[in-house]
Amino acid sequence: MTHELVADLHPLLTAEALAEAHASGGEPGDLEQAVWLRLLERLETDGPPPDPQGWLRKAVRAEARRARRTTRLERPYGAEPVDDDRPGPEQLALRAARHRALRDAVRRLPGRCPRLLEALLSPKDLTYREIAGELGISQGSLGPERSRCLGCLRRLLTPEVASRGVRG
């Protein structure tokens, strides 16, 4: 019974949806889907309508009115709402990968370089005096030592990091 009802109503529903969809600002296929859903809901609760063609015409108009109301009440965004202050998941993952690569390269440095660069990268934001005291070296030798360690780090990272182009 249901299959026959659907087969009988399909051409009428297609024609009615095409006629009403343009005025409602929707797509005929969406309107058809909504009416089929209403028919299935009715079949489950009340059984088939006594006048299927009349019910279908009323259902199409009711769904078209609902679509017009929705279109009238909903306002599209001028632009996608974006929170520019917070990085997205992709940026967070890339940042974490860069930090891991940097920390791994720092650990592979020779001599005192790992300890010096870890102190410089510390979230405690240590002063040169505090770093020199922690490492047991004079404050005046921190600059040249830092330059030498950064040069080593640059050479270690060059194969891993793509060149960003010419600077200056």
Q: Give the DSSP per-residue string, 41-64.
A: HHHHHT-S-SSHHHHHHHHHHHHH
pLDDT confidence of residue 160: 61
- 0.85 exceeded by the pTM? no
The predicted structure's pLDDT at residue 54: 93
pLDDT at 82 (0 to 100)? 62
> Is residue 64 domain-resident?
yes
pLDDT mean by block of 10 residues, the chain; 168 residues:
81 89 82 90 88 92 88 74 74 90 89 90 87 89 91 83 54
Is 12 in the same domain as 64? yes
Report pLDDT for 89.
87
Q: Do 8 and 62 fall within a single domain?
A: yes
- Per-residue pLDDT tens over the stretch 40-67: 898 888 888 889 899 999 999 999 888 8
63 and 95 housed in the same domain: no
Task: Give the angle 18-28-19 at the CA atoms, nearest 5°.
Answer: 20
Q: Both 10 and 44 in a single domain?
A: yes
Q: Are residues 96 and 40 in the same domain?
A: no
Q: Single out the residue in 44, 73, 102 at which a domain terminates.
A: 73
Of the candidates 40, 73, 106, which is a domain's last residue?
73
pLDDT for the residue 148:
93
Domain that holds residue 137: 91-157
Cα separation values, 55 from 11, 12, 60, 152, 159, Å: 15, 11, 9, 80, 72
104 within 8 A of 96, measured Cβ to Cβ? no
Number of domains present in the structure of the chain: 2
CATH number, position 130? 1.10.10
pLDDT of residue 166: 56
Q: Which of 80, 78, 62, 50 lies closest to 20 in space, CA to CA?
A: 62
Residues 67 and 101 in one domain: no
Write down the pLDDT at residue 149. 92
SS3 123: coil
Q: So what's the pLDDT on residue 161?
A: 58
